[in-house]
Structure 1
Amino acid sequence: MGTLDGKVALITGAGQGVGAGMARALAKEGARIAVVGRTESKLVETCAAIADFGGVAEPVVCDISKREQLGPMVARVVEVFGGIDILINNANASALGPLLEVTPKLLDRAMAVGPVATLFLMQLCHPHLKARGGGSIVNLVSSSAVRWDTSGYGLYAATKEAMRSLTRTAASEWGADGIRVNAIAPHALSPGLQWWTENNPEEAAEFVRSIPLGRIGDCEQDIGRAVVFLAGPDAGYLTGATIPLDGGQARWS
Protein backbone atom coordinates (compact mmCIF):
# COMPACT_ATOMS: atom_id res chain seq x y z
CA MET A 1 0.00 0.00 0.00
CA GLY A 2 1.13 3.53 -0.76
CA THR A 3 0.84 6.45 1.61
CA LEU A 4 -1.48 8.24 -0.84
CA ASP A 5 -3.74 5.36 -1.88
CA GLY A 6 -7.18 6.64 -2.85
CA LYS A 7 -6.09 10.26 -3.07
CA VAL A 8 -6.50 12.53 -6.10
CA ALA A 9 -3.82 15.11 -6.85
CA LEU A 10 -4.17 18.06 -9.22
CA ILE A 11 -0.73 19.26 -10.34
CA THR A 12 -0.26 22.29 -12.59
CA GLY A 13 2.73 22.56 -14.91
CA ALA A 14 3.04 18.77 -14.77
CA GLY A 15 4.14 18.17 -18.34
CA GLN A 16 7.85 18.32 -17.59
CA GLY A 17 10.52 19.06 -15.02
CA VAL A 18 9.58 19.42 -11.36
CA GLY A 19 5.87 19.04 -12.11
CA ALA A 20 6.38 15.73 -13.89
CA GLY A 21 8.72 14.57 -11.14
CA MET A 22 6.13 15.31 -8.47
CA ALA A 23 3.44 13.57 -10.53
CA ARG A 24 5.54 10.40 -10.78
CA ALA A 25 6.42 10.44 -7.08
CA LEU A 26 2.82 10.86 -5.93
CA ALA A 27 1.53 8.26 -8.38
CA LYS A 28 4.05 5.72 -7.07
CA GLU A 29 2.46 6.19 -3.64
CA GLY A 30 -1.00 5.43 -5.00
CA ALA A 31 -2.40 8.87 -5.83
CA ARG A 32 -4.34 9.34 -9.04
CA ILE A 33 -2.97 12.36 -10.86
CA ALA A 34 -4.62 15.14 -12.87
CA VAL A 35 -1.69 16.23 -15.06
CA VAL A 36 -2.46 19.87 -15.91
CA GLY A 37 -0.64 22.13 -18.36
CA ARG A 38 -0.77 23.99 -21.66
CA THR A 39 0.93 21.51 -24.01
CA GLU A 40 -1.05 18.32 -24.48
CA SER A 41 1.84 16.29 -25.91
CA LYS A 42 3.91 16.89 -22.76
CA LEU A 43 0.99 15.99 -20.51
CA VAL A 44 0.49 12.75 -22.43
CA GLU A 45 4.19 11.91 -21.96
CA THR A 46 3.90 12.35 -18.20
CA CYS A 47 0.76 10.21 -18.10
CA ALA A 48 2.46 7.50 -20.17
CA ALA A 49 5.43 7.44 -17.79
CA ILE A 50 3.02 6.99 -14.89
CA ALA A 51 1.09 4.26 -16.69
CA ASP A 52 4.36 2.39 -17.28
CA PHE A 53 4.60 1.56 -13.58
CA GLY A 54 0.86 0.96 -13.14
CA GLY A 55 -0.14 4.41 -11.98
CA VAL A 56 -3.26 6.32 -12.98
CA ALA A 57 -3.10 9.77 -14.57
CA GLU A 58 -5.23 11.93 -16.83
CA PRO A 59 -4.00 14.81 -19.02
CA VAL A 60 -6.01 18.01 -18.58
CA VAL A 61 -5.15 20.89 -20.89
CA CYS A 62 -5.42 24.33 -19.28
CA ASP A 63 -3.63 27.66 -19.56
CA ILE A 64 -3.79 28.78 -15.95
CA SER A 65 -2.98 32.38 -16.91
CA LYS A 66 -6.51 32.53 -18.35
CA ARG A 67 -8.81 32.79 -15.37
CA GLU A 68 -11.85 31.66 -17.34
CA GLN A 69 -10.23 28.24 -17.89
CA LEU A 70 -9.67 27.47 -14.21
CA GLY A 71 -13.22 26.61 -13.18
CA PRO A 72 -13.88 24.24 -16.10
CA MET A 73 -10.50 22.58 -15.51
CA VAL A 74 -11.25 21.88 -11.85
CA ALA A 75 -14.73 20.65 -12.78
CA ARG A 76 -13.18 18.28 -15.33
CA VAL A 77 -10.82 16.84 -12.73
CA VAL A 78 -13.71 16.24 -10.33
CA GLU A 79 -15.73 14.65 -13.13
CA VAL A 80 -12.92 12.23 -14.00
CA PHE A 81 -11.74 11.32 -10.50
CA GLY A 82 -14.71 12.08 -8.25
CA GLY A 83 -12.98 14.70 -6.12
CA ILE A 84 -9.69 16.34 -5.19
CA ASP A 85 -7.50 15.75 -2.13
CA ILE A 86 -4.23 17.42 -3.09
CA LEU A 87 -3.55 20.63 -5.03
CA ILE A 88 -0.03 21.46 -6.18
CA ASN A 89 0.43 24.92 -7.69
CA ASN A 90 3.61 24.41 -9.69
CA ALA A 91 3.14 26.19 -13.04
CA ASN A 92 5.55 29.06 -13.43
CA ALA A 93 6.20 32.04 -15.71
CA SER A 94 9.73 33.32 -16.23
CA ALA A 95 9.96 36.94 -15.08
CA LEU A 96 13.66 37.69 -14.80
CA GLY A 97 15.42 40.95 -15.58
CA PRO A 98 16.08 44.43 -14.18
CA LEU A 99 13.17 46.36 -12.71
CA LEU A 100 13.61 49.09 -15.33
CA GLU A 101 12.81 46.51 -18.01
CA VAL A 102 9.57 45.24 -16.47
CA THR A 103 6.72 45.89 -18.89
CA PRO A 104 2.99 45.83 -18.18
CA LYS A 105 2.68 42.68 -20.30
CA LEU A 106 5.44 40.90 -18.37
CA LEU A 107 3.97 41.99 -15.04
CA ASP A 108 0.46 40.86 -15.98
CA ARG A 109 1.59 37.40 -17.09
CA ALA A 110 3.86 36.84 -14.09
CA MET A 111 1.05 37.75 -11.73
CA ALA A 112 -1.56 35.75 -13.65
CA VAL A 113 0.43 32.51 -13.63
CA GLY A 114 1.76 33.05 -10.10
CA PRO A 115 -0.32 34.48 -7.24
CA VAL A 116 -3.54 35.07 -9.18
CA ALA A 117 -3.84 31.50 -10.46
CA THR A 118 -2.69 30.19 -7.09
CA LEU A 119 -5.40 32.12 -5.24
CA PHE A 120 -8.23 31.16 -7.55
CA LEU A 121 -7.21 27.50 -7.80
CA MET A 122 -7.08 27.31 -4.01
CA GLN A 123 -10.54 28.86 -3.86
CA LEU A 124 -11.92 26.48 -6.49
CA CYS A 125 -10.40 23.38 -4.88
CA HIS A 126 -11.27 24.32 -1.29
CA PRO A 127 -14.82 22.89 -1.28
CA HIS A 128 -13.63 19.64 -2.83
CA LEU A 129 -10.83 19.18 -0.29
CA LYS A 130 -13.20 20.06 2.55
CA ALA A 131 -15.85 17.63 1.28
CA ARG A 132 -13.34 14.77 1.51
CA GLY A 133 -12.44 15.55 5.11
CA GLY A 134 -9.57 17.91 4.39
CA GLY A 135 -6.48 17.71 2.24
CA SER A 136 -3.18 19.28 1.36
CA ILE A 137 -2.11 22.21 -0.81
CA VAL A 138 1.52 22.72 -1.82
CA ASN A 139 2.58 25.96 -3.52
CA LEU A 140 5.93 26.18 -5.27
CA VAL A 141 7.80 29.36 -4.39
CA SER A 142 11.45 30.42 -4.59
CA SER A 143 14.50 31.42 -2.59
CA SER A 144 15.07 34.31 -5.00
CA ALA A 145 13.80 36.87 -2.48
CA VAL A 146 16.44 35.83 0.07
CA ARG A 147 19.39 35.69 -2.33
CA TRP A 148 22.55 37.54 -1.37
CA ASP A 149 21.87 39.71 -4.44
CA THR A 150 18.32 39.97 -5.77
CA SER A 151 19.30 42.01 -8.83
CA GLY A 152 17.38 40.76 -11.84
CA TYR A 153 14.96 38.76 -9.71
CA GLY A 154 12.68 41.55 -8.48
CA LEU A 155 9.43 40.71 -10.27
CA TYR A 156 9.90 36.96 -10.05
CA ALA A 157 10.67 37.18 -6.32
CA ALA A 158 7.66 39.43 -5.77
CA THR A 159 5.28 36.90 -7.33
CA LYS A 160 6.73 34.08 -5.25
CA GLU A 161 6.60 36.09 -2.02
CA ALA A 162 2.95 36.85 -2.77
CA MET A 163 2.37 33.10 -3.06
CA ARG A 164 4.10 32.56 0.30
CA SER A 165 1.74 35.10 1.87
CA LEU A 166 -1.28 33.34 0.37
CA THR A 167 0.10 30.06 1.72
CA ARG A 168 0.32 31.33 5.28
CA THR A 169 -3.10 32.97 5.16
CA ALA A 170 -4.84 29.93 3.70
CA ALA A 171 -3.18 27.75 6.33
CA SER A 172 -4.60 30.03 9.04
CA GLU A 173 -8.09 30.31 7.57
CA TRP A 174 -8.60 26.72 6.40
CA GLY A 175 -7.06 24.72 9.21
CA ALA A 176 -10.51 24.26 10.74
CA ASP A 177 -11.55 22.55 7.49
CA GLY A 178 -8.73 20.02 7.80
CA ILE A 179 -6.81 21.61 4.94
CA ARG A 180 -3.05 22.03 5.33
CA VAL A 181 -1.23 24.54 3.13
CA ASN A 182 2.54 24.63 2.74
CA ALA A 183 5.09 25.97 0.29
CA ILE A 184 8.34 24.54 -1.02
CA ALA A 185 11.25 26.47 -2.53
CA PRO A 186 13.02 23.94 -4.75
CA HIS A 187 16.13 23.72 -6.87
CA ALA A 188 15.94 20.85 -9.34
CA LEU A 189 17.37 19.92 -12.70
CA SER A 190 14.37 20.97 -14.77
CA PRO A 191 14.67 21.44 -18.55
CA GLY A 192 15.15 25.19 -18.04
CA LEU A 193 17.92 24.74 -15.50
CA GLN A 194 19.49 22.01 -17.62
CA TRP A 195 19.66 24.42 -20.57
CA TRP A 196 21.17 27.13 -18.38
CA THR A 197 23.87 24.86 -16.96
CA GLU A 198 24.83 23.64 -20.42
CA ASN A 199 25.03 27.14 -21.87
CA ASN A 200 26.67 28.83 -18.87
CA PRO A 201 29.15 26.20 -17.61
CA GLU A 202 31.36 28.51 -15.55
CA GLU A 203 28.46 30.25 -13.82
CA ALA A 204 26.75 26.88 -13.34
CA ALA A 205 29.85 25.44 -11.68
CA GLU A 206 29.93 28.40 -9.28
CA PHE A 207 26.23 27.89 -8.63
CA VAL A 208 26.76 24.24 -7.67
CA ARG A 209 29.70 25.18 -5.44
CA SER A 210 27.33 27.45 -3.48
CA ILE A 211 25.13 24.46 -2.58
CA PRO A 212 26.35 22.80 0.64
CA LEU A 213 25.21 19.37 -0.55
CA GLY A 214 27.18 19.90 -3.75
CA ARG A 215 24.53 19.05 -6.32
CA ILE A 216 21.30 20.22 -7.93
CA GLY A 217 18.20 18.31 -6.83
CA ASP A 218 16.44 15.57 -8.76
CA CYS A 219 12.88 16.42 -9.79
CA GLU A 220 11.37 13.16 -8.57
CA GLN A 221 13.63 11.85 -5.82
CA ASP A 222 14.47 15.13 -4.08
CA ILE A 223 11.43 17.29 -4.81
CA GLY A 224 8.69 14.75 -5.53
CA ARG A 225 9.43 12.60 -2.49
CA ALA A 226 9.36 15.66 -0.23
CA VAL A 227 5.95 16.58 -1.61
CA VAL A 228 4.74 13.02 -0.96
CA PHE A 229 5.60 13.66 2.69
CA LEU A 230 3.84 17.05 2.76
CA ALA A 231 0.73 15.62 1.11
CA GLY A 232 0.60 12.53 3.29
CA PRO A 233 -0.42 11.66 6.85
CA ASP A 234 3.08 11.92 8.32
CA ALA A 235 2.94 15.72 7.85
CA GLY A 236 -0.48 15.97 9.46
CA TYR A 237 0.62 18.66 11.95
CA LEU A 238 2.59 20.77 9.47
CA THR A 239 0.94 23.78 7.87
CA GLY A 240 1.81 27.36 6.93
CA ALA A 241 5.47 26.50 6.41
CA THR A 242 7.94 27.19 3.62
CA ILE A 243 10.28 24.23 3.13
CA PRO A 244 13.55 24.99 1.30
CA LEU A 245 14.53 22.12 -1.00
CA ASP A 246 17.75 23.61 -2.30
CA GLY A 247 20.54 21.60 -0.72
CA GLY A 248 21.05 24.30 1.91
CA GLN A 249 21.96 27.07 -0.52
CA ALA A 250 19.55 29.85 0.48
CA ARG A 251 19.89 31.78 3.72
CA TRP A 252 16.36 31.62 5.08
CA SER A 253 15.79 33.56 8.29
Structure 2
Amino acid sequence: MGTLDGKVALVTGAGQGIGRGISLALAKEGVAVAVAGRTESKLHKTVAEIEEIGGRAIPVRCDVSVAEDIEAAVATTVERLGGVDIMVNNANDSKPGTLLDVDDADFERGFATGPLATLRFMRACHPHMVARGGGSIINLVTSAAVRWDASNYGVYGSIKEGIRVLTRAAAAEWGRDGIRVNNVAPHAMTPALQWWMDKNPEEAAAFVAGIPLGRVGDPEADIGRAVVFLCSEDARYLTGATVPLDGGQSRWG
Protein backbone atom coordinates (compact mmCIF):
# COMPACT_ATOMS: atom_id res chain seq x y z
CA MET A 1 0.00 0.00 0.00
CA GLY A 2 1.36 3.40 -0.99
CA THR A 3 0.84 6.61 0.93
CA LEU A 4 -1.04 8.08 -2.05
CA ASP A 5 -3.00 5.06 -3.27
CA GLY A 6 -5.90 5.95 -5.54
CA LYS A 7 -4.62 9.42 -6.40
CA VAL A 8 -4.14 10.72 -9.94
CA ALA A 9 -1.34 13.09 -10.94
CA LEU A 10 -0.56 15.14 -14.02
CA VAL A 11 3.17 15.93 -14.32
CA THR A 12 4.55 18.18 -17.06
CA GLY A 13 8.01 17.83 -18.49
CA ALA A 14 7.89 14.23 -17.32
CA GLY A 15 9.87 12.64 -20.12
CA GLN A 16 13.23 13.23 -18.46
CA GLY A 17 15.07 14.80 -15.55
CA ILE A 18 13.17 16.12 -12.57
CA GLY A 19 9.73 15.51 -14.09
CA ARG A 20 10.58 11.88 -14.69
CA GLY A 21 11.93 11.52 -11.14
CA ILE A 22 8.78 13.02 -9.62
CA SER A 23 6.60 10.76 -11.76
CA LEU A 24 8.44 7.64 -10.62
CA ALA A 25 8.32 8.65 -6.96
CA LEU A 26 4.58 9.30 -7.13
CA ALA A 27 3.91 6.04 -8.99
CA LYS A 28 5.75 4.06 -6.31
CA GLU A 29 3.26 5.45 -3.77
CA GLY A 30 0.23 4.25 -5.73
CA VAL A 31 -0.43 7.32 -7.89
CA ALA A 32 -1.68 6.91 -11.46
CA VAL A 33 0.40 9.36 -13.48
CA ALA A 34 -0.36 11.28 -16.66
CA VAL A 35 3.15 11.79 -18.05
CA ALA A 36 3.03 14.99 -20.10
CA GLY A 37 5.56 16.57 -22.42
CA ARG A 38 6.43 17.47 -26.01
CA THR A 39 8.57 14.49 -27.04
CA GLU A 40 6.48 11.33 -27.31
CA SER A 41 9.42 8.90 -27.29
CA LYS A 42 10.56 10.24 -23.91
CA LEU A 43 7.04 10.05 -22.51
CA HIS A 44 6.68 6.41 -23.54
CA LYS A 45 10.00 5.62 -21.87
CA THR A 46 8.85 7.10 -18.54
CA VAL A 47 5.51 5.29 -18.85
CA ALA A 48 7.33 2.00 -19.47
CA GLU A 49 9.51 2.54 -16.39
CA ILE A 50 6.43 3.13 -14.26
CA GLU A 51 4.70 0.06 -15.64
CA GLU A 52 7.82 -2.03 -14.94
CA ILE A 53 7.44 -1.29 -11.21
CA GLY A 54 3.76 -2.18 -11.28
CA GLY A 55 2.44 1.37 -11.57
CA ARG A 56 -0.09 2.91 -13.89
CA ALA A 57 0.72 5.72 -16.31
CA ILE A 58 -0.34 7.22 -19.62
CA PRO A 59 1.58 9.44 -22.06
CA VAL A 60 0.03 12.83 -22.81
CA ARG A 61 1.63 14.92 -25.51
CA CYS A 62 1.45 18.58 -24.50
CA ASP A 63 3.19 21.82 -25.45
CA VAL A 64 2.63 23.98 -22.39
CA SER A 65 2.86 27.15 -24.50
CA VAL A 66 -0.40 26.18 -26.23
CA ALA A 67 -3.62 26.83 -24.29
CA GLU A 68 -5.52 24.14 -26.20
CA ASP A 69 -2.86 21.54 -25.35
CA ILE A 70 -3.21 22.35 -21.66
CA GLU A 71 -6.99 21.98 -21.71
CA ALA A 72 -6.66 18.73 -23.65
CA ALA A 73 -4.02 17.34 -21.27
CA VAL A 74 -6.23 17.90 -18.24
CA ALA A 75 -9.29 16.53 -20.04
CA THR A 76 -7.38 13.42 -21.14
CA THR A 77 -6.11 12.84 -17.61
CA VAL A 78 -9.62 13.06 -16.18
CA GLU A 79 -11.13 10.90 -18.91
CA ARG A 80 -8.56 8.10 -18.83
CA LEU A 81 -7.52 8.09 -15.18
CA GLY A 82 -10.76 9.22 -13.52
CA GLY A 83 -9.84 12.68 -12.23
CA VAL A 84 -6.88 14.70 -11.04
CA ASP A 85 -5.66 15.08 -7.45
CA ILE A 86 -2.08 16.24 -7.99
CA MET A 87 -0.76 18.76 -10.51
CA VAL A 88 3.00 19.20 -10.93
CA ASN A 89 4.00 22.18 -13.08
CA ASN A 90 7.55 21.30 -14.02
CA ALA A 91 7.94 22.15 -17.74
CA ASN A 92 9.32 25.56 -18.63
CA ASP A 93 11.27 26.77 -21.65
CA SER A 94 13.54 29.48 -20.32
CA LYS A 95 17.28 29.69 -19.92
CA PRO A 96 19.82 31.78 -18.02
CA GLY A 97 21.38 34.66 -19.91
CA THR A 98 22.34 38.29 -19.54
CA LEU A 99 19.77 41.05 -19.90
CA LEU A 100 21.54 42.32 -23.02
CA ASP A 101 21.60 38.90 -24.66
CA VAL A 102 18.00 37.83 -24.27
CA ASP A 103 15.62 38.79 -27.06
CA ASP A 104 11.95 39.62 -26.67
CA ALA A 105 10.73 36.39 -28.26
CA ASP A 106 12.71 34.23 -25.80
CA PHE A 107 11.52 36.38 -22.90
CA GLU A 108 7.90 36.05 -23.97
CA ARG A 109 8.22 32.29 -24.47
CA GLY A 110 9.68 31.97 -20.99
CA PHE A 111 6.63 33.63 -19.50
CA ALA A 112 4.24 31.72 -21.76
CA THR A 113 5.67 28.39 -20.65
CA GLY A 114 6.16 29.56 -17.06
CA PRO A 115 3.63 31.72 -15.19
CA LEU A 116 0.98 31.65 -17.93
CA ALA A 117 1.14 27.87 -18.40
CA THR A 118 1.14 27.37 -14.63
CA LEU A 119 -1.95 29.55 -14.26
CA ARG A 120 -3.72 27.75 -17.09
CA PHE A 121 -3.01 24.32 -15.63
CA MET A 122 -4.08 25.35 -12.14
CA ARG A 123 -7.34 26.83 -13.41
CA ALA A 124 -8.05 23.79 -15.59
CA CYS A 125 -7.44 21.39 -12.68
CA HIS A 126 -9.38 23.41 -10.09
CA PRO A 127 -12.93 22.14 -10.79
CA HIS A 128 -11.75 18.54 -10.99
CA MET A 129 -9.91 18.81 -7.67
CA VAL A 130 -12.95 20.42 -6.05
CA ALA A 131 -15.08 17.54 -7.34
CA ARG A 132 -12.75 15.07 -5.60
CA GLY A 133 -12.70 16.96 -2.32
CA GLY A 134 -9.41 18.79 -2.78
CA GLY A 135 -5.96 18.34 -4.20
CA SER A 136 -2.32 19.35 -4.20
CA ILE A 137 -0.50 21.54 -6.72
CA ILE A 138 3.29 21.64 -6.86
CA ASN A 139 4.96 24.39 -8.89
CA LEU A 140 8.67 24.36 -9.65
CA VAL A 141 10.66 27.55 -9.07
CA THR A 142 14.36 28.30 -8.60
CA SER A 143 16.85 29.45 -6.01
CA ALA A 144 18.55 31.40 -8.80
CA ALA A 145 15.93 34.07 -8.13
CA VAL A 146 17.45 34.78 -4.70
CA ARG A 147 21.13 34.63 -5.62
CA TRP A 148 23.22 37.45 -4.16
CA ASP A 149 24.65 37.90 -7.66
CA ALA A 150 21.73 37.86 -10.11
CA SER A 151 23.98 38.20 -13.17
CA ASN A 152 22.75 35.90 -15.97
CA TYR A 153 19.65 34.99 -13.98
CA GLY A 154 17.50 38.13 -14.26
CA VAL A 155 15.13 36.80 -16.92
CA TYR A 156 15.00 33.22 -15.65
CA GLY A 157 14.55 34.36 -12.05
CA SER A 158 11.79 36.80 -12.93
CA ILE A 159 9.87 34.06 -14.72
CA LYS A 160 10.09 31.74 -11.73
CA GLU A 161 9.26 34.50 -9.25
CA GLY A 162 6.08 35.11 -11.22
CA ILE A 163 5.15 31.50 -10.54
CA ARG A 164 5.84 31.96 -6.84
CA VAL A 165 3.37 34.84 -6.65
CA LEU A 166 0.71 32.78 -8.43
CA THR A 167 1.31 29.97 -5.95
CA ARG A 168 0.74 32.25 -2.99
CA ALA A 169 -2.46 33.61 -4.53
CA ALA A 170 -3.81 30.16 -5.37
CA ALA A 171 -3.02 28.92 -1.86
CA ALA A 172 -4.92 31.86 -0.38
CA GLU A 173 -7.89 31.65 -2.73
CA TRP A 174 -8.31 27.87 -2.92
CA GLY A 175 -7.54 26.75 0.61
CA ARG A 176 -11.27 26.75 1.35
CA ASP A 177 -11.65 24.27 -1.52
CA GLY A 178 -9.23 21.85 0.10
CA ILE A 179 -6.54 22.59 -2.47
CA ARG A 180 -2.99 23.12 -1.21
CA VAL A 181 -0.47 24.88 -3.46
CA ASN A 182 3.28 24.84 -2.80
CA ASN A 183 6.55 25.51 -4.61
CA VAL A 184 9.72 23.48 -4.68
CA ALA A 185 13.03 25.02 -5.72
CA PRO A 186 15.02 21.98 -6.83
CA HIS A 187 18.62 21.41 -7.73
CA ALA A 188 19.05 17.99 -9.29
CA MET A 189 20.78 16.22 -12.13
CA THR A 190 19.17 16.83 -15.51
CA PRO A 191 20.46 16.03 -19.01
CA ALA A 192 21.38 19.70 -19.49
CA LEU A 193 23.25 19.91 -16.20
CA GLN A 194 25.05 16.63 -16.87
CA TRP A 195 26.13 17.96 -20.26
CA TRP A 196 27.48 21.16 -18.69
CA MET A 197 29.33 19.29 -15.95
CA ASP A 198 30.93 16.94 -18.46
CA LYS A 199 32.06 19.88 -20.62
CA ASN A 200 33.27 21.99 -17.67
CA PRO A 201 34.74 19.63 -15.06
CA GLU A 202 36.67 22.25 -13.08
CA GLU A 203 33.73 24.64 -12.84
CA ALA A 204 31.46 21.72 -12.02
CA ALA A 205 33.71 20.63 -9.16
CA ALA A 206 33.65 24.15 -7.73
CA PHE A 207 29.89 24.26 -8.12
CA VAL A 208 29.40 20.99 -6.22
CA ALA A 209 31.84 22.17 -3.55
CA GLY A 210 29.42 25.02 -2.83
CA ILE A 211 26.64 22.60 -1.92
CA PRO A 212 26.75 21.89 1.85
CA LEU A 213 25.57 18.31 1.35
CA GLY A 214 28.34 17.83 -1.19
CA ARG A 215 26.41 16.47 -4.16
CA VAL A 216 23.89 17.26 -6.86
CA GLY A 217 20.41 16.02 -6.02
CA ASP A 218 18.79 12.93 -7.48
CA PRO A 219 15.54 13.67 -9.39
CA GLU A 220 13.61 10.82 -7.82
CA ALA A 221 15.19 10.22 -4.41
CA ASP A 222 15.78 13.87 -3.47
CA ILE A 223 13.12 15.78 -5.39
CA GLY A 224 10.42 13.20 -6.09
CA ARG A 225 10.30 11.90 -2.54
CA ALA A 226 9.92 15.43 -1.19
CA VAL A 227 7.03 15.99 -3.59
CA VAL A 228 5.41 12.80 -2.31
CA PHE A 229 5.55 14.26 1.19
CA LEU A 230 4.08 17.58 0.07
CA CYS A 231 1.16 15.77 -1.57
CA SER A 232 0.51 13.54 1.43
CA GLU A 233 -1.61 13.95 4.54
CA ASP A 234 1.59 14.50 6.51
CA ALA A 235 1.80 17.95 4.87
CA ARG A 236 -1.90 18.74 5.13
CA TYR A 237 -1.30 22.04 6.98
CA LEU A 238 1.35 23.31 4.58
CA THR A 239 0.34 25.60 1.72
CA GLY A 240 1.69 28.69 0.00
CA ALA A 241 5.27 27.73 0.87
CA THR A 242 8.50 27.46 -1.09
CA VAL A 243 10.60 24.45 -0.16
CA PRO A 244 14.26 24.64 -1.25
CA LEU A 245 15.56 21.24 -2.38
CA ASP A 246 19.14 22.13 -3.20
CA GLY A 247 21.31 20.56 -0.54
CA GLY A 248 21.56 23.84 1.38
CA GLN A 249 23.16 25.77 -1.46
CA SER A 250 20.79 28.74 -1.33
CA ARG A 251 19.68 31.02 1.47
CA TRP A 252 16.05 32.05 1.26
CA GLY A 253 15.08 35.17 3.19
Q: Shorter-chain TM-score: what band?
A: over 0.9
Question: Alignment partner of 2:224: what SS?
Answer: helix
1:207-218 superposed matches below 5 A: 207-218=207-218
Question: Alignment partner of 1:97: what SS?
Answer: coil
1:1-253 superposed matches below 5 A: 1-253=1-253
Question: Alignment partner of 2:100: what SS?
Answer: helix
The one-letter amino acid paired with 1:22 is I
Whole-Å Cα distance in 1 between the matches of residues 106 and 67 of structure 2? Answer: 17
Deviation by residue 1:16-45 (Cα, 9 ceiling, x = unmatched): 000000000000000000000000000000
Question: Alignment partner of 1:250: what SS?
Answer: coil
1:15 offset after TM fit, Å?
Answer: 0.2
Deviation by residue 1:32-82 (Cα, 9 ceiling, x = unmatched): 000000000000000000001100000000101112211112111111011
Question: Alignment partner of 2:248: what SS?
Answer: coil
The one-letter amino acid paired with 2:41 is S
Whole-Å Cα distance in 2 between the matches of residues 124 and 74 of structure 1? Answer: 7
Question: Alignment partner of 1:144: what SS?
Answer: helix
1:101 offset after TM fit, Å?
Answer: 1.7
1:108 offset after TM fit, Å?
Answer: 1.3
Deviation by residue 1:217-247 (Cα, 9 ceiling, x = unmatched): 0000000000000011110000000000000
1:192 offset after TM fit, Å?
Answer: 1.0
TM-score normalised over the length of structure 1: 0.99
1:200 offset after TM fit, Å?
Answer: 1.0
User: Structure 1: 5+ residue runs without aligned partners?
Assistant: none
1:148 offset after TM fit, Å?
Answer: 2.3
The one-letter amino acid paired with 1:86 is I
Q: Supply the RMSD in Å over aligned alpha carbons.
A: 0.7
Task: Among all aligned residue pairs of Structure 1 and Structure 2, give the percentage whose two residues are the same amino acid.
Answer: 64
Whole-Å Cα distance in 2 between the matches of residues 228 and 208 of structure 1? Answer: 26
The one-letter amino acid paired with 1:47 is V
Whole-Å Cα distance in 1 between the matches of residues 223 and 245 of structure 2? Answer: 7
The one-letter amino acid paired with 1:214 is G
- After superposing on structure 2, the runs of 4+ consecutive aligned residues of structure 1 that deviate more than 3 Å are none
